[in-house]
Amino acid sequence: MIQPRSSTDRSLRLEGLDFAYSSTPVLRSLSCRFDGGRTVLLGPNGAGKSTLFSLLSGVLTARSGAILLPGADNAASRRELRSRVGIMLQAIAPVPGLTVAEQVAYAGWLAGLSAKRAARRAGEVLEQVDLAGKADAKAGKLSGGQLRRVGLAQAIVAEPEVLLLDEPTAGLDPAQRLRFRSVLHSIPGDRVTVVSTHQVDDITELYDVVVVIEAGQMRFTGTPEEFLALADPGSSQAERAYLSLLQTEEMAL
């Protein structure tokens, strides 16, 4: 295991991240910090949320800037990011033929655990995501909501210090969404957890911090209450706050 340089700062910090696909800039000098607890990352399509997750999970490398993992003073390498960051991808595609427990254990092995430890951890995290009863079912036979929970189990099986969830409830029906939220609630909240989503109706219940990015730049960071204060109180207040924020920025541009 790679040992980070010691630091008392337990947050995930981004310092001036730049990234572009060919000549199309996606992230522009993005700086931000994500503290322990759950942060919701908002932004319109194309804002750079998925790219940011790819950088944070070590799939892509930034052109410039640094990512500092919790407790570290130096920029993290891709290898460190892959070791210490867990990600739940938007699309969960199980390996054909594997049971749920095997699927999660395989994710653990891929994340660096020994096969034996990965199998043991798979049992533990399936309890956490309320899928212990499905451990021996074929992962390919699960419903969309159950599959998302498998994805969450895969993301946390290696006990990452940073957890990224990309659109975890997109496409789920309300019942499945509620189930997923309760599972998310049940996961210990001391690690840095960043959830990218377009669903803002439950931000006060689920999240400690709201971050909004647009066109690869930071637009807002604050508590859910500060975020909601951007709009008048009432129903759909969160959506209106979100829209109001983006419209303000558009006019400013």
Partner 1 sequence: MRWLTRVRVSAGVWLTPFVVLIVIANLGGQEGSGEGYPLAVATRDSFNILMATGLCALAGAWEGSRLRRADVLTWPNRRSVPRILAAPWLISVISATGVAVIVFARHGALASGDSLVVVATTVLSLWVWGLAGIAVGLWFPPAVALPVSFAVPVLWLILPPASSVLWVRHLTGDWFDCCQVDQTLAPAAVTGTLTVLAGVLVAAVFAIWGRSRPVRRSVRLLTGLGVAAALTAGVVLGSLQVDRFGAYPVVPRRVSVTCTTGKLVAVCVLPEHDGQARHVVSLADTAISRWQGYGVRTPSTLTEATDVRPGSRDLAALVASATYDTDFDILTQVSQALTVAPCQARDESPADIVQRQERAQAWMVRTAGVHIDGRMDAARFGLDPEAWNWATSLMAKPKAQQGRAVNADLDYLAACR
Binding stretches for partner 1 (CB under 8 A): 21-22, 54, 57-60, 79, 81-83, 85, 87, 89, 91, 93-98, 102, 105-107, 109-112, 115-116, 119, 158
In the block, which residue shows the tokens 């199998």? 119
Q: Please identify, using beta-carbon distances, which residue of 6 and 21 lies nearer to partner 1.
A: 21
Min dist CB 81 to partner 1, Å, is 7
Contact between 211 and 39 under an 8 Å Cβ cutoff? The reply is yes
Q: Please identify, using beta-carbon distances, which residue of 106 and 207 lies nearer to partner 1.
A: 106
Min dist CB 170 to partner 1, Å, is 17
Tokens of 176: 């499945």
Min dist CB 84 to partner 1, Å, is 9
Contact between 5 and 192 under an 8 Å Cβ cutoff? The reply is no
Task: List C-alpha distances in Å: 178 to 106, 173, 183.
Answer: 27, 9, 9
Min dist CB 79 to partner 1, Å, is 7
β-partners of residue 87 are 164
Q: Please identify, using beta-carbon distances, which residue of 93 and 229 lies nearer to partner 1.
A: 93
Looking at this protein, which amino acid is placed at residue 24? Answer: T
Interaxial angle between packed helices 144-156 and 115-128, expressed in degrees from 0 to 180 and rounded to the nearest 10: 130
Q: Please identify, using beta-carbon distances, which residue of 165 and 203 lies nearer to partner 1.
A: 165
For strands 64-68 and 12-21, give the pairing.
Answer: antiparallel
Q: Please identify, using beta-carbon distances, which residue of 136 and 205 lies nearer to partner 1.
A: 136
* 86 backbone dihedrals φ, ψ, rounded to 5°: -110, 140
Interaxial angle between packed helices 100-110 and 115-128, expressed in degrees from 0 to 180 and rounded to the nearest 10: 120
Tokens of 16: 């001036």
Min dist CB 70 to partner 1, Å, is 17
Tokens of 99: 């049971």
- In degrees, to the nearest 5, what angle opens at C-alpha 40 toward C-alphas 37 and 42? 160
Q: Please identify, using beta-carbon distances, which residue of 164 and 200 lies nearer to partner 1.
A: 164
Min dist CB 176 to partner 1, Å, is 22
